[in-house]
């Protein structure tokens, strides 16, 4: 390894020595109070299944659990115009549900859940950048990567990852941040928010053609989108990572990684038609850890997006979090 690379690894090891050494598991009870109705796939049971699997796998004991603070108006305003936030607040019902679109509805608990989901990413960024944790996983809902700057859609209200990235750029003066999105659906909101922003690079894979029916034509030179055909498996996914993602990440040399961790590309999840398995999620996580160790002082914040088959979701999150905590 060249001298510059050795210096980066030394700095990373020093930072980890001074941190608690435990991966942060950031969540909030209010994330369970968002409910879009009986039978909706984006349900509170998702977080329960994740926690149960982490406990059963004896992974939870090796994490530091942190309760998220709610996002502030200033932190939201870096990504979402105040008029949009006002609109979301005005739509929040006191009883029943209010439909933002055919797939996305607000219940009385939604607003607090969304504020704490976004706030969890802020909390995670602070923990990692202040060396109180080497990396973090945010077990939150509602998800966020479909939310555009002024539009809710696809189960999403606030773009959690984008809010965290904007906070890292502003509060910690980072110059290069990379977002990795392996959800089965394209993270159109994240792409719309950071299109042409030279400080942010996004690499992603997603099924195409498929909801939200975009991404095949990147919106900016900082977007490295890899559409996968229905029926693709881990072979095609790993090829995309090795031939497109990793070279782009090495060239960009990010100072921090954010992962939009959607697990609905699992072969048992009928939300999509991509055949990934737990081993694929573990494999890509370990490759991203290597990138983070080389360029980012190990700094990774991973944020739950999709994943709707409860068993495969929980198992996939478990191997992802275990990889993050194995150092």
The residues annotated as belonging to the active site are 146
Nearest residue to 165 (alpha-carbon basis) of 299, 27, 307, 323: 299
CA–CA separation, 189 vs 50, rounded Å?
25
Q: Which of 250, 101, 269, 251 is nearest to 182 (CA)?
A: 269
Tokens 């706030």 -> residue: 119
- Which of 196, 180, 286, 199 lies closest to 240, judged by CA? 180
* Distance from C-alpha of 308 to C-alpha of 264, rounded to nearest angstrom: 6
Between CA 91 and CA 97 the distance in angstroms is: 10
Give the E-state strand segments of the chain in sequence order.
24-27, 64-67, 98-101, 104-106, 135-138, 177-181, 200-207, 223-228, 256-261, 300-304
For residue 275, give both structure tokens.
């055949």
End-to-end CA distance of the chain: 20
Q: Which residue has the tokens 């609905």?
A: 264
Structure tokens given for 118: 């976004």
Q: Strand 135-138 vs strand 223-228: parallel, antiparallel, or unpaired?
A: unpaired
């Amino acid at each position: 390894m060249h001298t510059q690379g050795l210096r980066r690894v030394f700095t990373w090891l020093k930072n980890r020595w001074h941190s608690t050494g435990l991966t942060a598991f950031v969540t909030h009870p209010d994330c369970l109070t968002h409910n879009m109705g009986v039978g909706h796939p984006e349900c509170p049971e998702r977080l329960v299944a994740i926690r149960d699997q982490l406990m059963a796998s004896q992974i939870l004991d090796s994490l530091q659990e942190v309760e998220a603070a709610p996002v502030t108006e200033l932190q939201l305003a870096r990504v979402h115009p105040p008029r949009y936030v006002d609109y979301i607040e005005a739509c929040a019902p006191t009883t029943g549900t209010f439909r933002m679109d055919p797939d996305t509805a607000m219940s009385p608990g939604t607003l607090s859940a969304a504020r704490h989901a976004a706030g969890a990413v802020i909390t995670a960024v602070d923990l990692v950048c202040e060396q109180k944790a080497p990396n973090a996983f945010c077990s939150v809902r509602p998800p966020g990567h479909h939310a555009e700057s002024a539009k809710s859609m696809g189960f999403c209200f606030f773009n959690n990852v984008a809010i965290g990235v904007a906070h890292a750029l502003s509060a910690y003066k980072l110059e290069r941040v990379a977002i990795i999105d392996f959800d089965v659906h394209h993270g159109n909101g994240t792409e719309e928010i950071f299109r042409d922003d030279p400080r942010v690079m996004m690499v992603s894979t997603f099924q195409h053609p498929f909801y939200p029916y975009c991404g095949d034509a990147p919106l900016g030179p900082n977007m490295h989108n890899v559409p996968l055909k229905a029926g693709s498996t881990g072979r095609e996914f790993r090829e995309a990572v090795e031939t497109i993602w990793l070279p782009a990440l090495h060239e960009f040399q990010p100072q921090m990684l954010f992962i939009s961790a959607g697990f609905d590309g699992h072969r048992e999840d009928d939300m999509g038609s991509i055949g990934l398995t737990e081993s694929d999620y573990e494999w890509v996580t370990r490759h991203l850890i290597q990138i983070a160790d080389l360029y980012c002082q190990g700094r990774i914040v991973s944020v739950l997006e999709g994943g709707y088959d409860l068993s495969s979701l929980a198992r996939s999150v478990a191997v992802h979090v275990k990889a993050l905590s194995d150092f």
